[in-house]
Structure 1
Amino acid sequence: MQPTDTMKRTMAEVVAQRRTEMSPGRIFAEACAAKGTDAVVEYDVTITDSLTSSRRKPRYPARNMIKVVDLSKDPRRYYWHESLPDPGAPQVHEADLRREAANRFHRSPVPELLPTTAWVQVPPDLWEDIETFESFINYRLIVRLSTAENDTIIRGAGGLLNMPQIARMTSKGSFASTILAACNEVEQMGGTADGLIINPADYYAFMGEGRLMDDIERNGVFIVRTRLVEPGTALVGDFGHGALLFDAGRSVIRFAEPPPGTFAEPGGLALMAQIHERVVVNLPTNFFVVSL
């Protein structure tokens, strides 16, 4: 039986999977040609996972770091997670060597999934050119949905940066940076720091000052560059074993009335895309928000 928890390790896997599939933009463009502005398309996939980048230099989304559980195909009631021992808890054999041995185990219900929504204004009559409309949906609407999804995963109400159980690290100790210090702490807890979320300003500053980013990538750490992490901070963790992204496995694109303040200029037709998902952390002791 194949596992339903998946993490996209390389874009080659995604490209191979998508080659024979019609793009979400094409599906909606053809629906719009048939039904006009009454077109509504409900997809049985999460459309942020349905496109590949045509850039020579890809910039990966946070979703690609985390095991995805598609609840439409793999329904679950609970997830497991660990926490540090309570103060004064009985000593555990060899916990001084294997810190995680003293951790407590928990079962929690799968939390309510959160909506992630993106909007675009459609230029007049753009839908009359199906090829161009397909491209507009794929590379403006869905790209904006991917940015909104990063917000949901990283800094939204249920995002990683708002989880109080994830520790903060401000000292680099004997290491060259707090990033390396955090990688060490994750391994001292029995995990492997396989992911780094960092602001582009810090990423390029480190590139200009030395080889830290190259060394981290060559060591197998998956780097996500995003504006959604404050400059001067980064998130380091064991994303492969320590977190899950619960995904409804459903999406919708339709014309709708946007909330006030959505666009710089009022009027025109608005197109909305929406998905539902929620990130949880199984091993919060294997994640750190670091000050750079």
Structure 2
Amino acid sequence: MLKTDGIKETLAQVVSDRRQELSPGRMFVECCTNKGLDAAVEYDVTITDTLTSSRRKSRYPARNIFKAIDLSRDPRQFYWHESPPEPGDAPIDGADVRRELASRFHKSPIPELLTTTAWVQVPPGLWEDPETFESFINYRLIVRLCTAENHTILSGEGGLLNMPGIARMTDPGPFTSTILRACNEVEQMGGTADGLILNPVDYYRAMGSGTLMTDLEQNGVFIVRTRLVEPGSAIVGDFGHGAQLFDAGRSVIRFAEPPPGTFAEPGPAIMAEIYERVVVNLPTNFFLVTV
């Protein structure tokens, strides 16, 4: 089983430690050497959070924008969340300026975690070259798992885009962009808009027509670019305090029979699975905006 030592103090320490550990791909290669097509490895971490990117240009997965709770190391029964006042609620002193004072408080059980799965088909004999096979697991299978994870977190069942209570914003109002208006609205609710998720086409359009993306990043907004948000829309919110990613802290990689329609032709296939789910604590601190 792959062990971790808990939260490291700096990103540099994380990178240093990972270089000294066996990668998920290396562990699977060693298992495959012993068991062949019966190879299966269970990990006691979420493997989409174990690899550092080799890209010169960083592009962050959606999981990186959330506060992740590893339920295997930090078990929880419940999570807290708030909702806006309902029609007919009694007026709350001070809520005309501090809107959040009128919110209602709730407790809910941790929801059932969702399974995220990815598949790759292994070219015949690739496992005979351990270094290449390790790279294939790490940077093809797990990268595909990261993409599938983005779907789970954002647009799948229980994804952020399907969360009830998140307001839609189509008009920039007195601002030059709906993104900036949403950032202001989050702060008017007492939060901080520290994250933005948008389609690459909108990121590069904004980059080509002005300094909005640079201004946001320099102002501390963490930006995630992903196809899983429809072009023309974006999610703005207080990800640091307003949402959480509950994570099982375990994963599996194994040879398996893929479902029909997964590949164009038969051949040995490997699947990877992780288990997680997003919850929103402060839905009033998130906006789905038209850009």
Task: Summarize deviations over 1:171-218 as a string: whole Å, max 9, x none.
Answer: 100001000000000000000000000100000000000000000000
Determine the C-alpha separation between the residues in 1 that align with 2:11 and 2:119.
26
Deviation of the 1:164 alpha carbon: 1.7
1:266 alignment partner in structure 2: 265
Does residue 176 in structure 1 map to residue 190 in structure 2?
A: no
Q: Report the Cα offset of residue 9 of structure 1.
A: 11
| TM superposition shift of 1:17 | 3.9
Are 2:282 and 1:283 aligned? Answer: yes
Specify every segment of 5 or more residues in structure 1 that has no aligned partner in the other structure, as ranges. Answer: none
Deviation of 1:14 (Å): 3.8
Q: Distance in 1 between matches of 2:290 and 2:215?
A: 19
For the residue of structure 2 that corresponds to 1:131, the secondary structure is helix
> For the structure 1 residues 176 and 14, does the alpha-carbon distance in structure 2 shift closer, same or farther, using more than 3 Å as the test?
farther
Decide whether the 8 Å contact of 1:234 with 1:290 is kept in 2.
yes
1:98-109 counterparts in 2 under 5 A?
98-109=98-109
Q: How many residues align?
A: 287
Stretches of structure 2 lacking an aligned partner (at least 5 in a row)? 1-5
Amino acid at match of 2:149: E
Report whether the alignment pairs 1:226 with 2:226. Answer: yes
- Judge conservation of contact 1:175–1:181 (CA < 8 Å) in 2: yes
Q: Give distance in 1, aligned partners of 2:11 and 2:290.
A: 30
Indicate how the Cα distance of structure 1 residues 208 and 13 shifts in structure 2: closer, same or farther if over 3 A, else same. Answer: farther
Taking a change above 3 Å as real, the CA distance of residues 282 and 70 of structure 1, as seen in their structure-2 partners, is: same
TM-score, structure 2 normalization: 0.96
- Cα distance change, pair 201–9 in 1 and its aligned pair in 2 (3 A): farther
Confirm or deny: 8 A CA contact 1:46 1:250 kept in the other structure: yes
Contact 1:43–1:252 (CA<8 Å) still a contact in 2?
Answer: yes
Shift of 1:18: 1.5
What RMSD over aligned residues (CA atoms) do the two structures have, in Å?
A: 1.6
Query: Aligned runs of 1:58-207 on 2, under 5 Å?
Result: 58-207=58-207
Deviation at 1:16, TM superposition (A): 3.5
C-alpha change, 1:176 and 1:9, in structure 2 (3 Å) is farther
Deviation, 1:19, is: 2.4
Q: Tell me the equivalent position of 2:3.
A: none
Shift of 1:12: 3.9
SS of the residue corresponding to residue 208 of structure 2 reads helix
Query: How has the CA–CA distance of structure 1 residues 10 and 139 changed in structure 2, closer, same or farther, with 3 Å as cutoff?
Result: farther
Contact 1:9/1:64, CA 8 A, preserved across alignment? no
Determine the structure 2 residue equivalent to 1:244.
244
Q: Return the TM-score normalized by structure 1.
A: 0.96
Counting aligned pairs with the same residue, the percent is 74
Question: 1:11, 1:52 within 8 Å by CA — same for their partners in 2?
Answer: no
